[in-house]
């Protein structure tokens, strides 16, 4: 291309708009055609250099991490870069739009142009990092849209983004891209090499693959797989534990006298109640009685029965709910039981306090036979009014739908608090059988589907 950038883009207002279009045309060309378009490449390079950005933004082989390491000031610009902004009457800053387009194109190209062929551990790690930058650009935490350890909090820029405003909703697509990269990686060979295994970053897609393939691993490979699973479990548990700690706040039990220790001393009340003992001459307050705060909270013995569909489509729910069950099992006077099922049911209660060991005993995949799980769960109901049953599934039971619903209806009418859950992920994009959805609604137990915090808050009202 022989024209200068100014000749290509025109002047004044239309100039900035044309520059922005050049960058996005180059992005589309790169995404849908592996062949380089020389005219678009040279024009984009001219735009990037003209606005003072590094040429490395146009190199698909350079990660966002590398760009930010060389140019630290750009980190702040990537944060919240693509987050939806409220519409206003202020005049558009077209020069700023060009700059944002160059940065956004970099993140989008690195994440969505995944190529083909075998993927190395280093390539997967780089993609995960770039995907994290994309999530930050959208106002989320790294891992949040993909349903990983970053879920459950505000975006990196201090906002709580409405994920429903992201058009299209890309959370599931990011998860699918990551899963495809994991499948294209020779995972068993990577796990057998401690150096390569150390490059892996645990994620939901990687954990799913490890859980599916665990029976084919041994020795060093199995040890590295277990290490990755435990790292992921610990990271997600930390996030969920914080949510539970915030949610499970019971009513103060004033029938129990406050413990007379310094940390419970109510200084304001003590001063107020003893003001009549103030001596103006001595400028001294004489204290007849100390007052202490109540800290003991009312707790009622409860039984929590968690039934989790472990078919392939529910892997993220299986991981999240297994961890969540272990956290609730650690609360005072909460008796937690855990059952997983596909075409068979398995009682995982003996390991409910250790989500890592629980996950190692799951067998992801297969069909669904809810009535078998219900047959195992019902005998665990000792006092219906004091029991909550959480059932996590997409409820696609094929020819077993009616028997399962009849069992659920009987449990609900006995006085058990029944909570059907269609999804326990950050993206909440889980399909739920509409046949069950309508019947649960009529029963007065609508399906919870979406962020795991919904389930935490629902359990709080019963267990607090």
User: Could you report the per-residue pLDDT of 282-303, keeping only the tens digit for each?
Assistant: 888 888 888 877 665 544 447 8
pLDDT at 88: 55
Does residue 263 share a domain with residue 131?
Answer: no
Does residue 379 share a domain with residue 291?
Answer: no
pLDDT at 355: 79
In a domain, 197, yes or no: no
Domain coverage including residue 400 = 302-463
Of 294, 295, 277, the residue nearest 286 (C-alpha):
277
Residue 275 — pLDDT band, cuts 50, 70, 90? confident
pLDDT at 16: 86
Does residue 307 share a domain with residue 449?
Answer: yes
Q: Please write the tens of the pLDDT for every residue from 57-99.
A: 998 889 999 999 999 999 999 988 887 665 555 677 888 889 9
What mean pLDDT comes out for the span 305-324?
74
In a domain, 211, yes or no: no
DSSP β-bridge partners for residue 119? 185
Distance CA 125, CA 201 (A): 6
pLDDT at 212 over 90: no
pLDDT at 427: 47
Does residue 149 share a domain with residue 46?
Answer: yes
Which position has the token pair 């994920």? 163
Does residue 412 share a domain with residue 270?
Answer: no
In a domain, 417, yes or no: yes
How many other C-beta atoms can be found within 10 angstroms of the C-beta atom of residue 255? Answer: 8
Of 40, 177, 166, the residue nearest 110 (C-alpha):
177
The chain-wide mean pLDDT, for the chain, equals 79
Of 169, 170, 175, 182, the residue nearest 212 (C-alpha):
182
pLDDT at 123 over 80: yes
In a domain, 383, yes or no: yes
Of 77, 79, 73, the residue nearest 161 (C-alpha):
79
In a domain, 202, yes or no: no
pLDDT at 249 over 50: no
pLDDT at 382 over 80: yes
Does residue 309 share a domain with residue 455?
Answer: yes
Does residue 278 share a domain with residue 307?
Answer: no
Of 277, 298, 319, which residue is a domain's last? 298
- The b-or-e profile of 37-76 (16+ CB within 10 A means b, else e) is eeebebbbebbbeeeebbebbbeeebbbeebbeeeeebee
What mean pLDDT comes out for the span 230-238?
79
Distance CA 249, CA 259 (A): 19
Does residue 268 share a domain with residue 353?
Answer: no
Of the listed ranges 30-34, 49-53, 57-61, the one predicted with least confidence: 30-34
Does residue 410 share a domain with residue 364?
Answer: yes
Of the listed ranges 2-11, 206-215, 291-300, the one predicted with least confidence: 2-11
Considering its fold, how many domains does the chain have in total? 3
pLDDT at 4 over 70: no
pLDDT at 240: 64
pTM summary value: 0.59
pLDDT at 134 over 60: yes
In a domain, 102, yes or no: yes
Of the listed ranges 27-41, 82-96, 130-144, 170-184, the one predicted with least confidence: 82-96
In a domain, 128, yes or no: yes
pLDDT at 104: 93
The CATH number linked to 359 is 3.40.50.410
Which position has the token pair 């009535």? 371
**Cβ pair 411, 378 in contact under 8 A:** yes
pLDDT at 264 over 90: no
Does residue 340 share a domain with residue 446?
Answer: yes
Does residue 176 share a domain with residue 35?
Answer: yes
Of 298, 313, 333, which residue is a domain's last? 298
- Percent of the chain residues past pLDDT 70, beyond the cut: 76
φ, ψ for residue 315 (rounded to 5)? Answer: -60, -45
What mean pLDDT comes out for the span 129-152?
76
Of the listed ranges 142-146, 200-204, 313-317, 325-329, the one predicted with least confidence: 313-317
In a domain, 210, yes or no: no
What mean pLDDT comes out for the span 27-45?
84
What mean pLDDT comes out for the span 222-236?
85
Cis amide leading into 168 (omega within 30): yes
- Percent of the chain residues past pLDDT 90, beyond the cut: 21
Does residue 363 share a domain with residue 258?
Answer: no
Distance CA 240, CA 431 (A): 23
Residue 450 — pLDDT band, cuts 50, 70, 90? low
**Cβ pair 129, 75 in contact under 8 A:** no
């Amino acid at each position: 291309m022989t024209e200068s950038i100014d000749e290509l883009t025109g002047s004044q207002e239309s100039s900035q708009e044309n520059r922005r279009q050049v960058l996005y045309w180059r992005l589309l060309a790169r995404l849908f055609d592996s062949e380089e378009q020389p005219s678009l490449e040279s024009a984009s390079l001219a735009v990037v250099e003209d606005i003072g950005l590094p040429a490395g933004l146009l190199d698909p082989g350079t990660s966002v991490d590398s760009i930010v390491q060389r140019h630290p000031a750009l980190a702040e610009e990537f944060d919240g870069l693509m987050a939806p902004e409220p519409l206003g009457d202020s005049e558009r800053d077209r020069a700023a739009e060009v700059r944002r387009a160059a940065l956004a194109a970099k993140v989008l190209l690195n994440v969505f142009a995944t190529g083909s062929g075998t993927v190395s551990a280093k390539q997967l790690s780089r993609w995960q990092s770039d995907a994290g930058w994309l999530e930050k650009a959208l106002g989320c935490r790294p891992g949040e849209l993909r349903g990983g350890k970053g879920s459950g909090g505000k975006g990196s820029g201090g906002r709580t983004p409405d994920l429903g405003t992201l058009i299209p909703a890309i959370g599931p697509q990011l998860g699918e891209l990551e899963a495809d990269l994991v499948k294209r990686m020779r995972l068993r060979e990577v796990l057998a090499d401690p150096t390569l295994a150390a490059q892996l970053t645990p994620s939901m897609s990687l954990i799913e693959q490890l859980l599916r393939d665990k029976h084919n691993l041994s020795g060093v490979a199995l040890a590295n797989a277990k290490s990755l699973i435990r790292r992921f479990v610990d990271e997600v548990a930390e996030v969920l534990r914080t949510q539970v700690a915030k949610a499970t706040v019971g009513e103060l039990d004033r029938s129990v006298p406050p413990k007379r220790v310094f940390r419970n001393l109510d200084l304001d009340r003590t001063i107020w109640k003893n003001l009549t003992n103030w001596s103006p001459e001595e400028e001294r307050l004489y204290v007849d009685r100390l007052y202490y705060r109540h800290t003991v909270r009312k707790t009622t013995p409860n039984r929590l029965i968690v039934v989790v569909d472990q078919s392939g489509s529910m892997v993220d729910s299986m991981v999240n709910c297994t961890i969540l069950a272990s956290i609730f099992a650690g609360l005072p006077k909460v008796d937690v039981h855990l059952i997983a099922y596909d075409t068979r049911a398995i009682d995982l209660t003996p390991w409910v306090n250790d989500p890592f060991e629980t996950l190692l005993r799951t067998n992801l995949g297969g069909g669904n036979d809810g009535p078998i799980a219900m047959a195992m769960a019902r005998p665990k109901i000792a006092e219906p009014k004091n029991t909550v049953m959480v059932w996590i599934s997409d409820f696609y039971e094929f020819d077993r739908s009616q028997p399962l619903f009849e069992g659920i209806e009987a449990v609900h009418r006995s006085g058990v608090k029944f909570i059907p859950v269609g999804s326990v992920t950050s993206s909440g994009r889980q399909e739920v059988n509409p046949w069950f959805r309508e019947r649960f609604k009529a029963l007065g137990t609508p399906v919870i589907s979406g962020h795991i915090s919904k389930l935490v808050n629902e359990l709080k009202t019963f267990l607090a």
